[in-house]
């Protein structure tokens, strides 16, 4: 079969682009080590309910640490547990989160807190709550039909 000159050219271009794309993909995957930037530890996603601290999600006051409160949060389709917490203004808060099923997001609207929760990983973020208000936590990773209903609330009170 005779191949037109242009067809050959396009074929070569297509193949080269694909190779370049795969190289870039390989480099970035290697660079990040297949781990979300906020993830610190591994967890079996099927055992989340029985592994501490995720066996007791919620807000806890802690002592002798660099933060005052820990928010242990479990994401699943299509909710966050807990759905709402109240933290005193000025507290240093450490968020410790994971997912029981698929990838979910954890974005605190109006702040720069934005984590990806991936099955098998524990994501952490420490922040100081210096403003009172109601901060909505939303899922910013599409996770299915109930994605837009996934919400939690961090209330910072005086
Ligand atoms: Cu969970 Cu989108």
DSSP 60-112: EE-SSSSSSEEEEEEEETTEEESSEEEEETT-EEEEEEEESSS-EEEEETTSS
State pLDDT tens for residues 42-70. Answer: 999 999 999 999 999 999 999 999 999 99
Answer yes or no: do 7 and 65 share one domain. Answer: no
How many domains would you assign to the chain?
2
Which ipTM score applies to this complex? 0.99
Give residues (CB < 6 A) around ligand 1: 78, 104-105, 139, 141-143, 147, 150
Q: Which atom of ligand 1 is nearest to the CA of 147?
A: 2
Mean pLDDT of 148-153: 97
Answer yes or no: do 95 and 133 share one domain. Answer: yes
Mean pLDDT of 105-114: 93
Alpha helices in 33-133 (DSSP H): none
Answer yes or no: do 73 and 151 share one domain. Answer: yes
Q: Reply yes or no on whether the pLDDT at 79 is more than 80.
A: yes
pLDDT band (50, 70, 90) for residue 87: very high
Answer yes or no: do 70 and 138 share one domain. Answer: yes
Q: Which atom of ligand 1 is nearest to the CA of 139?
A: 2
C-beta separation of 148 from 136 below 8 A: no
Identify the residue whose C-alpha is closest to ligand 1 atom 1: 104
What's the domain range around 49? 39-157
116 DSSP β-pair partners:
105
Q: Which atom of ligand 1 is nearest to the CA of 148?
A: 2
The Cα 35–Cα 28 span in angstroms is 11
pLDDT band (50, 70, 90) for residue 75: very high
pLDDT of residue 6: 72
Answer yes or no: do 12 and 43 share one domain. Answer: no
Answer yes or no: do 30 and 84 share one domain. Answer: no
Mean pLDDT of 135-152: 97
Alpha helices in 90-143 (DSSP H): none
Mean pLDDT of 10-20: 70
Answer yes or no: do 50 and 128 share one domain. Answer: yes
- Tell which wins on pLDDT, 81 or 11: 81
pLDDT of residue 22: 61
State pLDDT tens for residues 114-130. Answer: 999 999 999 999 999 99
Å from CA of 38 to ligand 1 middle: 17
Q: Reply yes or no on whether the pLDDT at 23 is more than 90.
A: no
Å from CA of 1 to ligand 1 middle: 51
């Amino acid at each position: 079969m005779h191949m037109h000159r242009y067809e050959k050219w396009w074929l070569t271009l297509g193949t080269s682009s694909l190779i370049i794309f795969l190289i870039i993909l390989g480099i970035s995957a290697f660079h990040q080590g297949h781990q979300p930037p906020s993830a610190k530890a591994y967890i079996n996603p099927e055992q989340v309910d029985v592994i501490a601290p995720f066996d007791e999600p919620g807000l806890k006051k802690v002592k002798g640490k660099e933060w005052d409160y820990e928010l242990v949060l479990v994401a699943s389709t299509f909710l966050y547990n807990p759905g709402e917490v109240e933290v005193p203004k000025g507290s240093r808060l450490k968020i410790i989160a994971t997912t029981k099923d698929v990838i979910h997001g954890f974005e605190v609207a109006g702040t720069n807190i934005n984590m990806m929760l991936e099955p098998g990983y524990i994501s952490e973020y420490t922040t100081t709550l210096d403003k009172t208000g109601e901060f909505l936590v939303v899922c910013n990773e599409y996770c299915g039909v109930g994605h837009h209903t996934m919400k939690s609330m961090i209330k910072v009170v005086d």
